[in-house]
Amino acid sequence: MAVHVEELLERGGEADDVLRAVVSALAASPAIAWAGVAFVEEADLVVGPAAGEPAPEVRAHVPISFQGSAVGELWVDGEVPPEDLQRVAALIAPLVLIGWDTGGEAWEP
């Protein structure tokens, strides 16, 4: 799973487009019904790119941090080892930062 995400990240492109490709690839996995990225916005989580058919009864929430700051969560409906989801969350963290509410503060990806 993480290898495929790495390939999508290597292709590059706009952050939104890459995140949409990542959640689509996750949702295409037989073990995952739905995947989405939620962004931290003013202390709330707001769902951004998502793909698949939601099955919230089996939803996993994995924090996404960038340089020690929570910038979002990876939400996945399905049976996936937590370490796999943590790896994906770490890989997409710089892209999620772009959608994160920085409160006007400058940042370096």
Cα distance between residue 85 and residue 66, in whole Å: 16
Q: Report pTM.
A: 0.85
Q: Is the pLDDT of residue 105 over 80?
A: no
Contact of 27 with 35, CB cutoff 8 Å? yes
**Residue 108's pLDDT is what?**
47
Burial (0-12, 13-18, 19+ Cβ within 10 Å), 68: exposed
Give just the sign of the alpha carbon dihedral 84, 25, 78, 37.
Answer: positive
Domain 2-99 is of which CATH architecture? 2-Layer Sandwich (3.30)
Query: Average pLDDT for residues 56-61, to the nearest whole number?
Result: 96
Ordered by start, the domain boundaries in the chain are: 2-99
Query: Average pLDDT for residues 53-64, to the nearest whole number?
Result: 97
